[in-house]
Structure 1
């Protein structure tokens, strides 16, 4: 287990370094001058010498490799730098922006799991073929719906038509509901699509027939046997789900006029505020790494064979990879 965890931690560090390096190079290679944007296109009273002084102040006049190494060393010491636009520490900007984003992203993730898993289970559990076809046709529709359009539709229905939830702002729990639903629909559709296919394929396995022959009812077969194995592929896309939620907040927070990481990112990119963008990228990469690390730790709990045949007595007593996970239990 220690070797398994150590390998995953090394991969996590590599992902964080690669994400930061690629983002740094892309931001500094792109055309544009953040100092000129800060000064303003109509600021004719600013001389070239003053612009050079601003570049020197923010360290933008040094060679690219020197800037990269200085930024990397500072990040390793916990210093994300200062915003070129506001002058505030990037850590403070992120500390103020992350909580509102985590509120709607967390609520969206919970709703997405409930919606996706419920839809997948219902589609495979029902005996009515027409109903199963209707349920299985919903995930592609959920993925295809543009988030901004769906968010505006929710505002029209539940803010203007039925004044139940506020249309904009960050005013308590009620203001989280519509943005969370907007984020949950495409994410839940992705979960439902993958999980429904996985559950359907798992229900054709021989050990499922064995469980049915032993008298297991439909609920036990679907929830106790099939869902356990079918959940493994769905767990694999957790990193993509987290990334999708974070990227979706850019549109969602704009539509609902909410403060948060999405609006900070959009503003920083528009103003070429490189330190803030790098801080956002580092946070997003860290969220991706942590979510995937949690998935890697949950995998052995669902299937101990992942640890390998030499990882302990419990793992050695499990069936071999060619044998279904449930076959030894149901045989």
Structure 2
């Protein structure tokens, strides 16, 4: 047959390395979008607040006893760029934030990075302890619920995660303080210092985080234990405990890992309540005081930092998937 010049070109398939690189780039783009969206929404909400940030600053300086002088308000607005058009304010602050400069705190006059850096270690310590305890608690409840044979005990264990998830963090914190600080007198009620000060706040954060992990892992384990491969292993005489730990648990780890990445946001949000209840210094209390004082640079700095932690945590979770289960291909 004559050559018509319309030869079909074969489809080029990317190799695993190129597909993996493209996947990572795409996930990084999503992470950047999340951070940008968090920054933009925060700026917009703070800008639309009915009160004037410069007037709030002056009232804080004077102790709130006198009305703000108009000339002083105008000077502060000019100093911090609050008298510029909204779009110009937004773009100027955004370009500075990209360079790592979130400006100066309007409440303390210190650089925002320095203010966040001072509060960060305490929150990281609390969040890490809460996540570790929550993961251990959730996995233990899930394994126990699928390991026991007694129907009553099994139903009780399966009902614990919804119960824990429904408890407000402030209620759990106050209950722990009442029991272990006031009644038993074995742990301090508040403060930031020794490891003993970390136990009650970490448990308060761990209970809701562990509830979600327990609920997802327990259900996933139950589904895997009813699957055909589990029936095949039982027919071969493999003990139930070995099927649970060596086979079902490995498959159930995938959704639990996803939830663990999402729990970063819950831990950061819960830190606001927990640090207030236990009078701990950290990003949570810093955010609370900054919102009250309308300290826009600090609020935006804390939000962006939290969004970065959340995005990085979920990116790492996505990259860990193929290591947990080789059947999952990034490409």
2:110 paired residue number: 88
Cα contact 1:101–1:260 (8 A) shared by 2:
yes
Whether 2:22 is the aligned partner of 1:3: answer yes
Pairing 1:132-281 to 2, within 5 Å after superposition:
132-281=154-303
Pairwise CA distance, 1:122 = 0.3
Task: Determine the structure 1 residue equivalent to 2:9.
Answer: none
How many Å separate the matches in 1 of 2:196 and 2:99? 39
After superposing the two structures, state which structure 1 stretch, 213-222 or 84-93, moved more.
Answer: 213-222
Deviation, 1:2, is 1.5
Shift of 1:305: 4.0
Matching of residue 100 in structure 1 with residue 119 in structure 2: no
TM-score by length of 1: 0.90
Aligned match for 2:45, one of 11, 21, 26: 26
Aligned equivalent of 1:42: 65
Matching of residues 120-131 of structure 1 within 5 Å: 120-131=142-153
Deviations 1:100-155 (A, max 9, x none): 01111111100100000100110011111110111111111111112111111111
Other-structure match for 1:76: 98
- Cα distance in structure 1, aligned partners of 2:233 and 2:23: 33
Q: TM-score, normalised by structure 2?
A: 0.90
Counterpart among 303, 308, 316 of residue 294 in structure 1: 316
Unpaired segments ≥5 residues, structure 1 = 312-331
Larger Rg: 2
- Distance (whole Å) between structure 2 residues aligned to residue 92 and residue 211 of structure 1: 58
Distance 2:85 2:304 in 1: 22
CA RMSD of aligned residues (A): 1.3
Q: How far is the alpha carbon of 1:241 from its aligned partner?
A: 0.8
Q: What is the rounded CA distance, in whole Å, between the counterparts of 2:43 and 2:69 in structure 1? A: 28
The answer to whether the 8 Å contact 2:191/2:279 transfers is: yes
